[in-house]
Amino acid sequence: MKTLWAPWRMEYILSEKEKECIFCVALSERGNLTLYKGPLSMVMMNKYPYINGHLLVAPKRHVSSLDEMTMEEMADLLKTTKESIGILKKVMKPDGFNVGLNLGVVAGAGVEQHLHFHIVPRWHGDTNAMTLFAEVRVIPEHLEATYHNLKPHFERL
């Protein structure tokens, strides 16, 4: 049997889980993975990404469903999603994207109370044996490096 060491995960495993909404925290001064705060929407990096560049785009207002949003908020959210994809194309040059919205826990929503889109850049060959057989993801770039590569582009929005 082979062993894969990931000692940095112990901090997450043993830590007290956040009780506050991660998006509301990201909008405060404590949000260190926030790339963009617009008038109606925001963009933050996923702290536990599927792959490098995995972004979360959410309305600034704390809403859990599309029914609760105004037309202006929905338009801004989609515009911000489009702009985020454009930045990822320019900076990371992926071959494609998965863009999704999980509504409800049974649909996979990890933060059910605050609606958000996932933008996951994809590259040919990015599914590997580690994910398929060992249920492990290999993230080749440190989260902070990805943040610093993306942040200047979001500052221009």
**pTM, two decimal places:** 0.78
Asked if residue 7 belongs to a domain, the reply is no
Pick the catalytic residue from 54, 114, 116, 118.
116
Please give the C-alpha separations between residue 109 and each of 97, 128, 150, in angstroms, as whole numbers: 19, 25, 25
**Tokens matching residue 34:** 């926030």
Q: Is residue 94 part of a domain?
A: yes
In a domain, 123, yes or no: yes
Does any domain span residue 3? no
d(CA 56, CA 123): 19
d(CA 101, CA 120): 12
Show the domain range for 32: 19-155
The domain total for the chain is 1
In the beta sheet, which residues pair with residue 63? none
Q: What values do phi and psi take at 67, rounded to 5?
A: -60, -25
Report yes or no on 80 lying in a domain: yes
* Position 14 in a domain: no
Q: Say what the pLDDT of residue 12 is.
A: 57
Averaged pLDDT for residues 1-15: 60
Residue type, 48: Y
User: What CATH number should be reported for the domain holding residue 61?
Assistant: 3.30.428.10
Whether the predicted pLDDT of 62 surpasses 70: yes
**Helix/strand/coil percentages in the chain, nearest 5:** 40, 15, 45
- Is there a domain that residue 69 lies in? yes
> Tokens 């985020």 sit at which residue?
84
Average pLDDT over residues 93-106: 89
Name the E strands within the chain.
34-37, 41-45, 55-59, 96-101, 117-122
pLDDT band per the 50, 70, 90 thresholds, residue 129: very low
pLDDT of residue 133: 46
CA 151 – CA 125 distance, rounded (Å): 26
9 falls within a domain: no
- Is 114 considered catalytic here? no
pLDDT at 139: 74
